[in-house]
Amino acid sequence: MIQAVIIAVVVLSLVLCWRNCHRDAGMTRREALRTRMKIIFLVLVVCGLCSKAVVHTYRHFNPPPPPIIGP
């Protein structure tokens, strides 16, 4: 499930980059800032998903010890 989301985000970022490369060369400062912010946001999303996948995998293969109940 998480891998599918990561792949979807990567494909979306590639599509946005391709679209921006084939645009007019005359970008305003505001458009350039919006493009940079989109790329930064996508990078943060991918990093967040990857770190969650790593933590989930670690916890799956290394579960915490059972709690001690009773005297």
pLDDT digits (tens, 9 = 90+) for 5-26: 777 777 777 777 666 655 556 6
Beta-carbon contacts of 3 under 8 Å, excluding residues fewer than 6 positions away, are: 53
**Dihedral sign of CA atoms 6, 45, 43, 36 in order:** positive
The token pair at 19 is 């679209």
Average pLDDT for residues 29-54, to the nearest whole number?
A: 81
Q: What is the pLDDT of residue 22?
A: 57
Question: Is 19 in contact with 62 (CB distance < 8 Å)?
Answer: no
pLDDT at 71: 72
